[in-house]
Structure formats: C-alpha cells, structure tokens
Amino acid sequence: MRSHWVLNHFNEVLKKYNAGYFVLIDPEQCELGRCAKLAGEVENAGADAILLGGSFLTSDLHPIATALKQETNLPIVLFPGDSMHLTPHADAILYISLISGRNPNYLIGEQVKAAPWIQRYRLEAIPTGYMLIEGGSSTAVEFMSGTIPIPRDKPDIAGPHALAAEYLGMQMVYLEAGSGAAHPVPNKMISTVKAQINIPLIVGGGIRTPETAAKKVAAGADFVVTGNVLEENGSFELMKAFADAIHGQNN
C-alpha cells in the first residue's frame, strides 16, 4: 500500500478541476463480467475513482474487486455498509461514521470491528463523516442503519454536524440522500455545509442528470457520486457527460 496515495489523488483532482467525479458500483446490482467491463468504461469516461459497496451485500467482494483492479488504474475505494464489507483487493476505504444518526453501532461499533481487518488488508483508511439527508423516499441505508435522515429543509442542523466531523479529525464529509432517492441533497444544504468546513465535501444520491451534478458542484460539492442512474441508464456517453459537467464547472 502506498500510504495516503488515494487521498493525495483526490487532492490532485481538486487542484486540477476543483471538483471530482466518483462512480459507485453496487455488487448486488452488477454481475462480475459487467462490473469488470464497467470499470474500464468509467476510467475512459473521465471519472476520478470507483466506489465499491452498498447498504446490504450478499456478494463476495474479493472477485469483484480483483476484476475491477485488472481493468482500471483508477483507485478502488470501498464504501461499506458494515464491517463485513471488506476486501484486500481494493486500494482504500471510506472509513465512515454515521454522524447524522444516533445509532452507536454505526457511529463506532462497526468501525471497531472493521479496524483490525483494514490494518491487516493494508487498506488506506479515509475517515469520513457520513450524513444521511432526507431524499423524499425511504432508502436502504436508512432502513439498514435504523437512523432518521436530517430533514432536507434543515441546513442549520447539517452544518454543525459536518463541522463536528472536521473537529473530530475526519478528512471528508459525505452528504447522502440515499441510493435511488427521489430528490438529491438540496443546493442550500450543500452551500451551508461547505461554508462551515475546510475539508472536501462529497455529495451523492438522487443525482440523475449531468445538469444536476453541475449544480451540486456550483453549490459547493467537491466530489459528486452517481450510481443508480448508471445501473438504470448506463452508458459510456452518460458517464462522460457527468465527468465533463463536473470537471467543467471550475475549469
């Protein structure tokens, strides 16, 4: 493992474009051959990293991560739903704490169980404050974590949560409306949070068009994540349109 190389890569992306594009691959929604093919397409389309994971997994991550690594030079970053969603065949892990909720298992419990395996697998851990934002519909992560999202019209609540994440030493904040959310994180909430923190801000969930992604960047998102829209309407052209819209905002 090259220490901190993935986080350094993220910082270089921000220096180059001022905003970056992550593609989320959910192993439950992507069979092995398709995942491998998608990895090459993601890189060629101009994305900056691949997130691998989901709220509920029954698939074996080892062969999927191995196949992804064979097809792309992009960093493969685990996006785990719990401490079992690990593999040594990734580069890094978003070491997330669900700071918007009050369920101790997802604030610290799963993190403790995962820590020895992250060390053993020599994964680069990127401490990330993870915040669920109301997206207009119930989501898998809301159900699995047993937590209530922050209301979408309460940016004054989201801001201090994000600031607390920074003060706790976390290196990124992730605002998540949830996979398949009816509505993405509101621009007002993004701008409010961004004004209070000095660490990179990731925004995902419910972002279905490149135009919407561009608005999230304009509001203050440092990284935009798409997932479900590519599973439903996936194409190289769509991914490239997302990458161009996100990178082009401040280029």
Domain spans in the chain, listed from the N-terminal domain onward? 5-247
What is the spatial distance between Cα 70 and Cα 74, in angstroms, rounded to a whole number?
10
What is the spatial distance between Cα 86 and Cα 106, in angstroms, rounded to a whole number?
16
pLDDT of 195-222, one tens digit each?
999 999 999 999 999 999 999 999 999 9
CATH code linked to domain 5-247: 3.20.20.390
Per-residue pLDDT band for 251 (boundaries 50, 70, 90) equals very low
What is the spatial distance between Cα 47 and Cα 19, in angstroms, rounded to a whole number?
11
The answer to whether residue 249 scores a pLDDT higher than 80 is: no
Predicted confidence at residue 222, as pLDDT, reads 98
pLDDT above 90 as % of the chain: 82
C-alpha distance across the termini of the chain, in Å: 31
C-alpha 232: how far from chain center: 18
| More confident of the two residues 251 and 144 | 144
Predicted confidence at residue 2, as pLDDT, reads 52
- Section 168-187 average pLDDT: 95
